[in-house]
Structure 1
């Protein structure tokens, strides 16, 4: 009999439990589309933050690489300019050394030319000195005159070899650029500004006047 009572209680409790389960299922809220969307937005928000962080890191990386690239480029330019400057300094030093060598050679050549010309001129004068000594040793008269003529002829030949010309002859027209009038003479029979007498011949080499002629001029 006791067993029958227990079975009846079990039977009676079963519908109640079933009702409780139904009540619980009824009271639990169902997931709405808005709740699902909110969940997606929440997940999407986290993904957006991660994406921004990733992009920020990539941007920093790009900026760093850009700075490194510019730094390498500037360093390369500095090295190129330094090399070019060193090359220019070396070229300048070589040019300066060449100029100094050229200057010394030119100065030496000028000195040699001057010495050669000086020796050549003296070599031309020496024979005249010898003839003067011989004329003086011969005494007076015709022999002395002949000796002096020889000296004069040799002197004129020497001037021709050196390219030196004489000027200032009697009858020439007076030129203040090459003649120096130390005396004047009034003579109506003579052309005006004509040279009446030459006291000292003039000498020139090309267009260069070595010495003006000293003359007397007719007014």
Structure 2
């Protein structure tokens, strides 16, 4: 009897073992799925955080850009006023204020576009007029209005006069 009675116990234990192994496999699969979901959510959150920081930086840069564009008008006024001041003390005082303003704006990334003697580049320059001269064509011969970059972005192109090379005299062309 014990031998017969023992067989069903072994079968029952084997069935329970199989059932537990099956449940363990299901739980392991579920745990792996949850872990993968957690890793995915972590990556998504990290990407969101990076995007959010970048967006915040863009908003600050745009706000600075608009403010600096408005201040460029005052910078231009200083540049025009300085040569016209007759009193040396006035010129020195206004010059100091102008230099402070230039330094402050430079800390925020503002830099003038240098152009004299260089070649015309439509990314940095706006041609207002041309001048016939012996210089090579498209060489900048005069800066009419100062241009500026904020970090690497042009916020105001330089207004320039460029050379138009006069290779032949007018009479030679018609003759």
Give the C-alpha shift of residue 114 in structure 1: 3.4
**Are 1:142 and 2:86 counterparts?**
yes
Q: Which runs of 5+ in 1 are unaligned?
A: 1-57
Instruction: Return 178-187 or 200-209, whichever deviates more.
Output: 200-209
User: Which of 180, 185, 201 is matched with 2:146 structurally?
Assistant: 201
Is the helix fraction higher in 1 or 2? 1
SS class of match (1:85): helix
Residue 98 of structure 2 corresponds to 152
Q: Give, in whole Å, the separation in 1 of the partners of 2:47 and 2:39.
A: 12
Cα offset, 1:216, TM superposition: 1.1
Partner residue of 2:160? Answer: 215
Higher gyration radius (CA): 1
Distance 1:141 1:165, change over 3 A: closer
Aligned to 1:172: 118
Aligned length in residues: 142
CA change 1:107–1:77 in 2 (3 A) is same
Q: Over the residues paired in the alignment, what is the CA RMSD in angstroms?
A: 4.8
DSSP 3-state at the match of 2:136: coil
Bigger RCO of structures 1 and 2 (CA < 8 A, at least 6 apart):
2
Name the counterpart of 1:76: 21
Counterparts of 1:13-28 in structure 2 under 5 Å? none
Quote the offset at 1:201 in angstroms. 1.9
Instruction: Name the structure with the higher strand share.
Output: 2
Q: Aligned with 1:174: secondary structure?
A: coil
When residues 191 and 90 of structure 1 are mapped into structure 2, their CA distance, relative to the original with a 3 A threshold, is closer
When normalised by structure 2's length, the TM-score is: 0.52
